Structure 1
Amino acid sequence: MRNVAPEAELLTLTRYPAAAVRDGDETDSHIVADETEPDLKVGERAAAVTRHRVLARPDADLWARSTLTANPGARLAVTATHDGFFAVVRGTGSVQVAGEDGDVAIAASAIYCCWLSGSLRDRELTVRAGRRALRLSLKFTPE
């Protein structure tokens, strides 16, 4: 995904397949990979690892921390929960996300962009991804 840093409360994402990302691409792009990604190179380059299967909150925390241990290059791990999404950001804290959409990859990109820009905090955020505009509510808990 290619991103524009969240200014005010709007984040614009341009999504394209990870296979299209080449070394040397612009620095404002990142890869979000599902935990089942069969291409090892994609998984190794991922900034975020995601899981679509819904987990209860304690299991989500355990999965995210285990996933970061297993994927040392990833900055965050995000899974679906019963009330949205849950993420652990390496060395930073955790994020509970509530929103109107069930796309864990969009939630992962939004969290990553906020972390990258230094704006990861409790906040409301509108994410534009293609023709969709999604409203997300982030609740950040620092480590």
Structure 2
Amino acid sequence: MTLKVGTILEGTVVNITNFGAFVDVEGKTGLVHISEVADTYVKDIRQHLKEKDKVKVKIIAIDEQGKISLSIRQAMPKSSRPVEIDWQGERNKNSGLSFEERLAKFLKESEERIQDLKHREGRRYGTASRR
């Protein structure tokens, strides 16, 4: 099979360095950079991978010299990736209001939150006014 960008394959980790892991896919070796190992920050790649591990990788680039760039995190199923937020839903909640009305609502809610925080802080340090 010819290796093409976007293809997801299974490979074997053959070597680990501080900057990434070399993975054998179909007889060719490609590099999974440390930033492409997981969706979270990876400080020590050896906590995520070991030599001879079988991993799913996605081919993300092949340069003119034939060097293959791979990604483990992009090969993960969408269900294990972070949830997308529907920002339009939040906008639709206030869509019937004019800019001035939304601004007034925002200012009122902000002032209420600030007053609540001041009240809680005063209670914590014993300086709240008695009612």
Scaled to the shorter chain, the TM-score interval is under 0.3
Larger Cα-atom Rg: 2
Q: Which has the higher contact order (CA 8 A, sep 6+)?
A: 1
Question: TM-score, structure 2 length as denominator?
Answer: 0.27
Report the TM-score when normalising by structure 1. 0.25
Please identify which structure carries the higher helix content. 2
